[in-house]
Structure 1
Amino acid sequence: MMKIELTGAAALELESSLLAVPVFEEELADGLKGPLVAIDRKLGGHVAAAAREEGFVGRADQSLFLHTLGKMRSARILFIGMGRRPTPEQLLRQGFEPVRMAAGQAVRLARKTASARFAFAAASIPGDAALVARAVVEGTLLGAYQFDRYRTRKEKKPEAPAHLLLALAPGKDRAPDVKDLVSLAMETAAAVVWARDLVNEPPLACTPALLADAARALAKEAGLTVEVKGPKEIAALEMGMFQGVARGSVEEPRLIRLSYVPKGAAGKKKPIVLVGKAITFDSGGLSLKPTESMVTMKSDMAGSAAVFAAMKVVAALAPAQPVHALVGACENMPGGRAYKPSDILTSYAGKTVEITNTDAEGRLVLGDVLAWGADTFHPAAMIDVATLTGACMVALGHTTTGAFGPDGPVIEGVLAAGRNAGEDVWRLPLTESVKENLKSDVADLKNAGERWGGAISAAWFLKEFAGDTPWAHLDIAGPSFSSKEAGYIAKGGTGAAVRTLVEFVRAFRG
């Protein structure tokens, strides 16, 4: 992990390989303003001249490199465009996400220039200094991420910076709330990186058994308890939907529980239960996916990575109520024993389900785990996280999570947590008319209805098994995996929803 150092020194005093300075459009309009004035004076007017020549006006997609030629203590300076200057209230509503994105962009450019000691001048960013510092640290640590463990002939690439020097307003670097949130940012970023690594593993490596091993290792490291159930125990629980999905693969399923339980009276409170989808590879089963749709299906376990990674931070937070993460892990394959369209499966809850599409498998496994979680732990709040539907991506695109749930403190808490974490979470309706799509002529319900409103009908299916438990569903099909770099987002697994879950646990009082 990169070393993080806080300082109250001015930008001109920072000693680094590369100094990143955020620039708002207003600071370049009608002459230089803000911190640019002193830097421009130190560099003999070259900032203003270079900005004019390069057309740098401070837009959020712009950056400008300058060598300081020994005139500053930093060898090079990087101006990062931030767009129009927001009010502190606007940045707060955005969860300081523009700051996080700018820090991620800056550290990726720092890597390309082999800058070992990276400084970020954050004093001019509006808003609470602790929240600014948190966003910069998270953005920097996540922006420095790359996954290349399977390259045998690695290109000689510059290393990520080993040191972040974060400059805040004088005195803020010593404030207890700043130090607390920087520590939280480091814990959270490490958890997101852990989730990214897990999602980026090939399906040959990340099988249900190896996912269980990862949970065991995490439990040992974080001081959590872990329980893993195999095929016989899953059968004994009569999880017929889970068993049905797993049947086509030679990889045996696992039911995994990671738990944080505080000592004393707090340990007897109703818990928060986090449920993650863990289809470690999804071929679609007998309703086989096209080849191009299958390429990224190693990421169909991103929900499980998110809930496990969140538990890594939960252990450090030590909240005053229990938190459990539950995962049903299996593959969805078209083997000779695979479940078939028109099969009828009997769930843990006793409800029967007609199979109309074997590629609507995640909701089947989640349904059994949600019902078991509700029955076993009687949660104060239960949240599932799943790469559930392409329909959610059609509705919201690649960067927004769809949120579903009945009105109440859980869905409101999830939406607030997403805002505070800087993750884009948008509530979609549980429209009653769409629920009709799940009616079956031969069973209690079917696992997939018509195309239209597919994300909503999938959420209704899960609601059938969550029952009356206070519940919310996060569909991360879009943001869980990225085809390109952007800010602190790397190609591949993103660790979507980890930060939202952490914020939810921090704030929820059930």
Structure 2
Amino acid sequence: MRPVVASLALSLAAFASAPLAAQAVVGTAVPPSTVPNSEPRPFRFATQASAQGTLVVPMSGTALPALSGVTLDEASRAAVTRAIGDAGFKGGKKETLALRGIGGWAQILLVGTGPLPQGEALRAALRDAGGRAAQALVSEKQPVVFAVPAGLGAAAQTAEFALGYALGQYRFDRYKSDRKAPPVDPVTFVSADAEAMGALWRDRLAAQAEAVTLSRDLATEPANVIYPESFVERTRAALAGVPGVSIEVLDEAAMRKLGMGSILGVGQGSTRPPRMMVVSYKGAGAPAAPLAIVGKGITFDSGGISLKPGAGMGRMKTDMSGAATAVATVLSLAKAKAPVNVVAVAALAENMPGGNAQRPGDVVRTMSGKTVEIISTDAEGRMVLADGIEYVIDRYKPAAVITIATLTGAAVRALDDEYTALFGRHDDLIEAIDAVGAPTGEAVWRLPLHDSYADDLRSPIADLKHGGDGPGASIGAWFVGSFVKEGTPWAHLDIAGTAWTDRGDAVTPKGATAWGVRLLDELARSWKP
């Protein structure tokens, strides 16, 4: 690491002013509520259940399947069959049909799965059915009995019903003064394989659902609630007491001592100082070298001096979704006691146009000594990632590095919200990420990284500049990758289009998606260097 050379007269963020921590935080409104979010329904697993509340029946066609362990007499089955015909219900992928007054059930909800695929794709189909049931019953107060049809496969597949239900029932309502009390009665999953389903839920999937909730909560909270310091506090609370987890936090003074001018430069216009948070977990039997996940954590992005348009700026509270997913992935793996070694870096800053904000044309120096000319202060995400990458490689010597960030609008224009843009130079890692995308329901699409993009990032006065004309998503990824040491496997996930949804889907209500938690959980378990 090269020392900072004062005679260069560079506008280095790390040394430009007195510590921001000494300045008063002003203009912070009291949040409208500190009421916790609604708790999800508890889950049970049983081989039989009595007729009480709502019965959920997944269907891949028009024929009512056999329901072992659930009471539905011949007359009731005949009534359901007539209703299916009268309603024209086909069991399609997005179909539901609610029936009342049949047998001893207050309601029978039929949930279409469409024709069921084989192999790993079956997991996604069953998970989606569970999520659609949860969303249809989000306000239903009575107990729910979820009948798992026989013959759908082993518990590894059928447990996806429970994960889908857990993901689909998510709600964020803590700031609603008129919010209704959430349902508290359980969901009972009835299956001949109930014991194995329950074990898989408790041992792995419950932790994954909790991690998705953490990531969604962090990204949904307003920016006057979640900022670098409170992000750290919220993460500490979520991981408190989890075996094998350690947390390291670098404040301004520590980052300044390390020469992290890149992240400090982004945060110097805000009264809320930046933080670098490292959350690590090593399970029993894990490899020596960790998988590193470095997440962009811009808790609010105004664009800085290169101010964004006002329309839609409120959504920029979600610009820390990469960091939220990174730390939530560690929660998922650690609570499930996975035999993995993983390190998550949350590079946290607030990008504001204050009087001390960095300017277009400034030059900053990263931890390794590289100098970067600032072209637009709204290209700040790649700058916080730079110091995060260099720190984790220097201190943790990872087997591979994954960067995840809401980085570019170009990725949104290329892929909308159907795919996350995937970049990288190591084909085995890229293929491993692509392989876990479909079964986890988090699809990726590889975009190019050509060496010619280096020419677009040449600066006349610094080692490189951080933006330019051309393919924005690829150039942004190339810049990020330039801070990864040669020979270290690296992949980049641009989640600008997938971190938030205005449409929602079966397992993701409208809002923050927590994209990447399920994919990275699976990747950490399956990828071998």
TM-score by length of 2: 0.86
Structure 1 pair 82/180, CA: closer, same or farther in 2 (3 Å)? closer
Shift of 1:409: 3.4
Quick check: 1:302–1:387 contact (8 Å CA) kept in 2? yes
Shift of 1:455: 1.0
Asked if residue 276 in structure 1 is aligned to residue 295 in structure 2, the reply is yes
Quick check: 1:87–1:127 contact (8 Å CA) kept in 2? no
Shift of 1:245: 0.7
- For 1:59, which of 67, 87, 92 is the aligned residue? 92
Quick check: 1:17–1:75 contact (8 Å CA) kept in 2? yes
Asked if residue 225 in structure 1 is aligned to residue 246 in structure 2, the reply is yes
1:51 and 1:41 mapped to 2: Cα distance? 15
Asked if residue 241 in structure 1 is aligned to residue 271 in structure 2, the reply is no
What residue is the counterpart of 2:173 in the other structure?
Answer: 148
Shift of 1:182: 5.0
What residue is the counterpart of 1:8 in the other structure?
Answer: 47
- Give the counterpart letter for 1:86 in structure 2: L
- For 2:53, which of 9, 13, 17 is the aligned residue? 17
Shift of 1:186: 0.8
Structure 1 pair 427/160, CA: closer, same or farther in 2 (3 Å)? farther
Q: What SS does the corresponding residue of 1:292 show, helix, strand or coil?
A: coil
Structure 1 pair 321/191, CA: closer, same or farther in 2 (3 Å)? closer
1:234 and 1:44 mapped to 2: Cα distance? 67
Structure 1 pair 205/422, CA: closer, same or farther in 2 (3 Å)? same
Shift of 1:125: 6.5
What residue is the counterpart of 1:332 in the other structure?
Answer: 351
What residue is the counterpart of 1:137 in the other structure?
Answer: 162
Deviation sequence 1:80-116 (CA, Å, 0-9, x none):
1222x13322xx1x3622222221111122233323x
- Give the counterpart letter for 1:82 in structure 2: T
Structure 1 pair 158/488, CA: closer, same or farther in 2 (3 Å)? farther
Structure 1 pair 426/160, CA: closer, same or farther in 2 (3 Å)? farther
Asked if residue 198 in structure 1 is aligned to residue 218 in structure 2, the reply is yes
What residue is the counterpart of 1:87 in the other structure?
Answer: 117
What residue is the counterpart of 1:441 in the other structure?
Answer: 460
1:381 and 1:241 mapped to 2: Cα distance? 22
Shift of 1:475: 1.3
Quick check: 2:322–2:404 contact (8 Å CA) kept in 1? yes
Structure 1 pair 237/353, CA: closer, same or farther in 2 (3 Å)? same
- For 1:77, which of 84, 108, 123 is the aligned residue? 108
Asked if residue 454 in structure 1 is aligned to residue 485 in structure 2, the reply is no
What residue is the counterpart of 1:421 in the other structure?
Answer: 440
- For 2:274, which of 239, 249, 253 is the aligned residue? 253
- Give the counterpart letter for 2:527 in structure 1: F
Structure 1 pair 167/358, CA: closer, same or farther in 2 (3 Å)? same
Asked if residue 350 in structure 1 is aligned to residue 375 in structure 2, the reply is no
Deviation sequence 1:205-245 (CA, Å, 0-9, x none):
10111111123223323242111111111111111211111
1:480 and 1:87 mapped to 2: Cα distance? 27
**Gapped regions of structure 1 (runs ≥ 5):** none
1:507 and 1:416 mapped to 2: Cα distance? 10
Deviation sequence 1:248-280 (CA, Å, 0-9, x none):
1111111111122457xx678111111111000
Asked if residue 410 in structure 1 is aligned to residue 429 in structure 2, the reply is yes
Asked if residue 306 in structure 1 is aligned to residue 325 in structure 2, the reply is yes
- Give the counterpart letter for 1:461 in structure 2: F
- For 2:80, which of 47, 70, 73 is the aligned residue? 47
Which structure 2 residues correspond to residues 141-220 of structure 1 after superposition, within 5 A?
141-152=166-177, 154-155=178-179, 157=180, 159-160=182-183, 162-168=185-191, 170=192, 172-175=193-196, 179-181=199-201, 183-220=203-240
2:151 and 2:497 mapped to 1: Cα distance? 30
1:2 and 1:467 mapped to 2: Cα distance? 46
What residue is the counterpart of 1:384 in the other structure?
Answer: 403
1:320 and 1:107 mapped to 2: Cα distance? 31
What residue is the counterpart of 1:122 in the other structure?
Answer: 148
Structure 1 pair 77/371, CA: closer, same or farther in 2 (3 Å)? same
Quick check: 1:87–1:126 contact (8 Å CA) kept in 2? no
**Gapped regions of structure 2 (runs ≥ 5):** 1-39
Quick check: 1:386–1:475 contact (8 Å CA) kept in 2? yes
1:6 and 1:320 mapped to 2: Cα distance? 26
Structure 1 pair 197/432, CA: closer, same or farther in 2 (3 Å)? same
1:112 and 1:497 mapped to 2: Cα distance? 28
Shift of 1:366: 0.2
Q: Report which stretch shifted further, 328-337 or 425-434.
A: 425-434
2:392 and 2:444 mapped to 1: Cα distance? 24
2:246 and 2:356 mapped to 1: Cα distance? 34
Quick check: 1:107–1:161 contact (8 Å CA) kept in 2? no
Quick check: 1:277–1:362 contact (8 Å CA) kept in 2? yes
Q: What SS does the corresponding residue of 2:528 show, helix, strand or coil?
A: coil
Q: Report which stretch shifted further, 309-318 or 157-166.
A: 157-166
2:425 and 2:494 mapped to 1: Cα distance? 15
Shift of 1:432: 3.1
Asked if residue 315 in structure 1 is aligned to residue 334 in structure 2, the reply is yes
Which structure 2 residues correspond to residues 475-494 of structure 1 after superposition, within 5 A?
475-494=494-513
Deviation sequence 1:440-475 (CA, Å, 0-9, x none):
23322211122x421111111111001222111111
Q: CA RMSD in A?
A: 2.4
Structure 1 pair 267/132, CA: closer, same or farther in 2 (3 Å)? closer
1:267 and 1:394 mapped to 2: Cα distance? 39
1:252 and 1:98 mapped to 2: Cα distance? 44
Deviation sequence 1:181-218 (CA, Å, 0-9, x none):
55311111011111111111110110111111123223
- Give the counterpart letter for 1:503 in structure 2: E
TM-score by length of 1: 0.89
2:289 and 2:301 mapped to 1: Cα distance? 34
Percent of aligned positions that are identical: 35
Structure 1 pair 214/193, CA: closer, same or farther in 2 (3 Å)? same
